A and B are shown apart, each in its own frame.
Chain A
Amino acid sequence: MKMVFTIDSRGDSYGPAMYDTQPNTPAHREAIAHLLRRIGFGPRPGRVDSMAHRPLPELVDDALADTEDRATGLEWADVSEDAEDEVIAWWFARLKDPRAGLHERMVWYWHGHFTTAIGNVGARLMWEQHRKIREHALGNFRTLTHAMLQDGAMLVYLDGDGSRGEQPNENFARELMELFTLGIGNYSEDDVKAAARALSGYWVDWETAAVTFEPEEHYDRPISFLGNRSRFSAADIADALCDEPACGRHVARRLHRHLVGVDPTDDHLDDLARVFREADLEILPLVDAIVRGDSFWDNPRCRPRQPIEWLIAATSALGADDLEFDPWELEISGQLPFSPPNVAGWPEDDRWVGGSQVLGRIGRVLQLSWEELIDTNIEPTVEAVLERCSIWGVSDVTRAALDGAARDQSEYEERLELLFALTLASPEFALA
């Protein structure tokens, strides 16, 4: 069988259909790794091998059925002055938990969709929002939207907190439509102004994270919103937005881009939006349709690994699983959980494979201790190192670079280290 991911020199799209690979073949292992890279934060060394005897459809079924949230310790307790770091560290530990699967992936996704930054809202409010996102990550989008409209962190982050009906702040209304639900072009400036009025009247208590509604500060006269004239509450706005056909399309496009790395074709987007709509905006059927869709399997390595994904995968390949949480390290990597760069969330584009990323990543790898890796007695061969990094399909260019390095460096340890450094710097490892 032809190896998948072999990239021919004409630049044609690659691969035979990954979905039909034969168990225990390299192509099959690559297909499993592809699945795990996208729906989890791994894979860890050895994980793919342990699954390689099973046919891919079964493994996909299992991955999509693994919807459990394994997080514990979600109760807010008295935390120290470093509450923000503690909250970030808690989540980082969940993300790098080897068992992290689809649920954690979707928590990560929604954090970037319904964006809020801890630096603006503090640990207490951020934590409450995170609990809601964990609860609804694979639930219903309408329910999630309702929860976010009443969420203290969101209200503070986008200036909904304290917005008065007579002179409402438009920030939340605008981002809600532009980024979270409809997308640009599917609402008017008048809709923004109307929604801002309907969302007024909420106050957030930073100490307790309580959100209170003050009716006298709410704009309670009729407004015209998306073609309907009526009195609107915040909940009415959430429902009206979720009822719009554009909403399903917008969410499906964003989630497809997150999981696949590119936008869906128009036809595929139509299908995804229809599935989402017919499921009454249940999230799991949409995820299911994306993961089982042709685009997921026909576009391998189209998705730049985000810095935190790269870090978790790289350190586990090196056996440095006990990596200490260091907010500074994550911050200079460009991705500190709970601190997205802006309201649009984490970028899903080429910047994660750009020069400053590569520079920082190699420097980071070279600073790690290699002792645990060397203790594993891995053969200092290109094949062994690629397998340790869960790569079974490799481009000609990368293969040539690794073969060259193996020739250049003869001693065991130095060769092993060089092969790892280059493999972790390669496009194959940077892309999912």
Chain B
Amino acid sequence: MTTSSKPTPSSLTRRQILTMMGIGGGTAAAAGYGLLSPRKQGDLSSFPAQGPGISNPRVASVAEPIIASGDVGNRLLVVIELRGGNDGLATVIPDSGRLRDLRPNLVGANDTQPVPFVEGTGLHPGLAPLRDRGLAVIEGIGTSNPDGSHFEMETRWWEGDGSGQAGLRTGFLGRLCDHLDVEAPITGLSLGAGDTPFLLAERATTVGLPDPWAGWFLNEPDPWYQNLRRGLERLGDNTTGEPARFAAARAGIENTLAFGEVLGSLDDEEDRGFPETQLGYQLQLAGGLLDSDFGVRILHVPFGGFDTHDGQMYSHDDLMTDLGSSMAALQDDLATRGLAERTLIMTTSEFGRRPEENGSGTDHGTAGPALVCGPVVPGVHGDAPDLSGLDADGNLIATTMVEEYYATIAEGWLGIPAASVLAKGAPQASFSADLFTT
């Protein structure tokens, strides 16, 4: 039998490492429990039932892009999505006898003791590096009509519709991109989960790479790959005035080559102080992408494993340590690149977890805190939910609506009026004046 003589990729070692980490090769492990969770509402642009022109009847209309003036005009946003429902009470930890009563096995059962944060509130020790660099916490984010389903709550967070009633068909981050830049090659980019509904936009170009190393074949030095690349360049020639679908397909090939160029230009071999984890690798790429001239303004990184029904005392510690050290490394990296003052790093998670433990873990809950790093006023913003005033299901009652969190980011950080990116009638109170230092 003849065997293929197609050259072996030169950086096999790196590839093997990535595969081990679950992000290289074709059999990568899912980062979380399901990467492209279905959603009930979404983009209808594929069915312009009312003729040309994509319109979304349920959203505040996207008028002309609002180009934020002055020094907010070039700001960047990194969104780390903690998938599975992060346990907020083990992240930002109240010094509370009530909590210890509710969680006899989880609180103080091992050596993980909170580090001091603000009066009466500690942090998971894994987040100490963030505290030391100036961490803002926004407490109690959720909705007034919570749902226990991952899919349902993910959808609401992605769409920026805490109530789930607005019927939005684009993602919150996608709408931000529509307002930031509709001309850039890529305005919004997701690293690691393929296309995400979070970045569904009406007009801006947003893409999701299933795998940060998806363009490996474009940067192989072997002659066969060079010839492949040359062939793709010829296939991507879009200058001959072909019909629209052909032109779109050639533009897709051209964009592919551009991805390869950007990904190839990132020196991911260099030690930039990131932990050797999947998240660390993704955030190292994120720093490089934000520092490239590709036009990326919003970078989304999924980080899975937070659905800690069992064995939480072990798994959540690892997750927090990874998160804290990776985010801190990104902050340091951005400072080195001169981007620290114009980059905000924020987390989301579809829900928090129930205050009362189930023995070895916690079940789906409601409200939870978000971590915000960058030019922010350190400390706790908003009110922590009341542990002695739980709802009928024994869950926390949200003190800040998802939309309020998003409105703060949109208006205070990116200079986009909340009404332009959130549903009509949604809670849009913004506390940006207290959160940002610039």
- Measured CB to CB, the residues of A under 8 A from B are 7, 9-11, 13-14, 117-120, 157-158, 171, 174, 179, 183-185, 250, 253-254, 257, 261, 263, 301-304, 326, 328-329, 331-332, 334, 336, 339-344, 346-351, 353-360, 362-364, 366-367, 369-371, 374-375, 395-398, 400-402, 404-405, 408-409, 411, 413-414, 417-418, 421-422, 425-427, 430-431
> Pick the contact of B235 from A119, A253, A401 — CB < 8 Å?
A401
The reply to whether the CB of B67 lies closer than 8 angstroms to some CB of chain A is no
Stretch at the interface among B99-107, B250-258, B370-378: B250-258
> Pick the contact of A326 from B27, B197, B210, B260 — CB < 8 Å?
B27
Contacts of A344 in B (CB 8 A): 42-44, 46-47, 169
The reply to whether the CB of B228 lies closer than 8 angstroms to some CB of chain A is yes
- Measured between alpha carbons, how far is A386 from B208 in the docked complex, in Å? 31
- Measured between alpha carbons, how far is A362 from B234 in the docked complex, in Å? 15
Separation in Å of the B31 CB from the closest CB of chain A?
11
**Closest A residue to B49 using CB positions:** A183
Question: Interface readout for B233-267 with A: 1 if CB under 8 Å, 0 if not?
Answer: 01101001111011011111111101110000000
User: Contact: A347 with B46, CB < 8 Å?
Assistant: yes
User: Contact: B217 with A362, CB < 8 Å?
Assistant: yes
> With A328-B28, A360-B210 known to touch, is A371 a contact of B3 (CB < 8 Å)?
yes
Contacts of B207 in A (CB 8 A): 354-356
- Measured between alpha carbons, how far is A362 from B255 in the docked complex, in Å? 13
User: Contact: B38 with A427, CB < 8 Å?
Assistant: no
User: Contact: B237 with A397, CB < 8 Å?
Assistant: yes
- Measured between alpha carbons, how far is A301 from B242 in the docked complex, in Å? 12
- Measured between alpha carbons, how far is A302 from B45 in the docked complex, in Å? 17
Separation in Å of the A363 CB from the closest CB of chain B?
6
User: Contact: A357 with B4, CB < 8 Å?
Assistant: no
> Pick the contact of B26 from A250, A329, A334 — CB < 8 Å?
A329
Contacts of B214 in A (CB 8 A): 356, 359-360, 363
Separation in Å of the A37 CB from the closest CB of chain B?
13
22 interchain pairs (CB within 8 A)? A117-B151, A120-B152, A184-B49, A185-B50, A304-B245, A304-B249, A326-B27, A328-B28, A332-B194, A341-B43, A341-B195, A348-B46, A349-B46, A353-B249, A355-B252, A355-B253, A356-B208, A366-B217, A369-B4, A397-B242, A408-B227, A421-B231
Contacts of B1 in A (CB 8 A): 371, 375
User: Contact: B248 with A353, CB < 8 Å?
Assistant: yes
> Pick the contact of A120 from B2, B151, B210 — CB < 8 Å?
B151
- Measured between alpha carbons, how far is A426 from B231 in the docked complex, in Å? 10
> With A119-B34, A328-B30 known to touch, is A370 a contact of B4 (CB < 8 Å)?
yes
- Measured CB to CB, the residues of B under 8 A from A are 1-6, 25-30, 34-50, 57, 149, 151-152, 167, 169, 194-195, 197, 207-211, 214-217, 224, 227-228, 230-232, 234-235, 237, 240-243, 245-246, 248-256, 258-260
Can you list the 4 inter-chain pairs with the closest CB atoms, starting with the nearest? A342-B42, A355-B255, A117-B38, A427-B249
User: Contact: A401 with B4, CB < 8 Å?
Assistant: no
- Measured between alpha carbons, how far is A14 from B246 in the docked complex, in Å? 12
* A-B pairs with beta carbons under 8 A, tally: 243
> With A354-B252, A358-B255 known to touch, is A341 a contact of B4 (CB < 8 Å)?
no
Contacts of B29 in A (CB 8 A): 328
User: Contact: B249 with A342, CB < 8 Å?
Assistant: no
**Closest B residue to A403 using CB positions:** B234
User: Contact: B3 with A119, CB < 8 Å?
Assistant: no
Contacts of B151 in A (CB 8 A): 117, 119-120
User: Contact: A10 with B208, CB < 8 Å?
Assistant: no
Contacts of A183 in B (CB 8 A): 49-50
User: Contact: A358 with B253, CB < 8 Å?
Assistant: yes
User: Contact: B210 with A332, CB < 8 Å?
Assistant: yes
**Closest A residue to B30 using CB positions:** A328
Contacts of A304 in B (CB 8 A): 245, 248-249
Contacts of A374 in B (CB 8 A): 2, 4
- Measured between alpha carbons, how far is A326 from B28 in the docked complex, in Å? 11
- Measured between alpha carbons, how far is A413 from B224 in the docked complex, in Å? 11
User: Contact: A397 with B256, CB < 8 Å?
Assistant: no
Contacts of B169 in A (CB 8 A): 342, 344
| Most B-side CB within 10 Å, residue of A304, A341, A358, A422 | A358
- Measured between alpha carbons, how far is A103 from B116 in the docked complex, in Å? 64
Contacts of B35 in A (CB 8 A): 331-332
Contacts of A119 in B (CB 8 A): 34, 37-38, 151
> Pick the contact of B197 from A157, A329, A342 — CB < 8 Å?
A342
Separation in Å of the B207 CB from the closest CB of chain A?
5
User: Contact: B2 with A353, CB < 8 Å?
Assistant: no
User: Contact: A401 with B231, CB < 8 Å?
Assistant: yes
**Closest B residue to A112 using CB positions:** B46
Contacts of A370 in B (CB 8 A): 4, 6
**Closest A residue to B243 using CB positions:** A11
- Measured between alpha carbons, how far is A186 from B39 in the docked complex, in Å? 25
**Closest A residue to B9 using CB positions:** A366
Other A-B contacts than A185-B49, A303-B245, A371-B2, 7 sampled, CB-CB below 8 A, are: A328-B28, A353-B252, A358-B253, A362-B228, A363-B214, A369-B4, A404-B231
- Measured between alpha carbons, how far is A367 from B45 in the docked complex, in Å? 33
User: Contact: A430 with B249, CB < 8 Å?
Assistant: yes
**Closest B residue to A404 using CB positions:** B234
- Measured between alpha carbons, how far is A404 from B115 in the docked complex, in Å? 63
**Closest B residue to A350 using CB positions:** B248
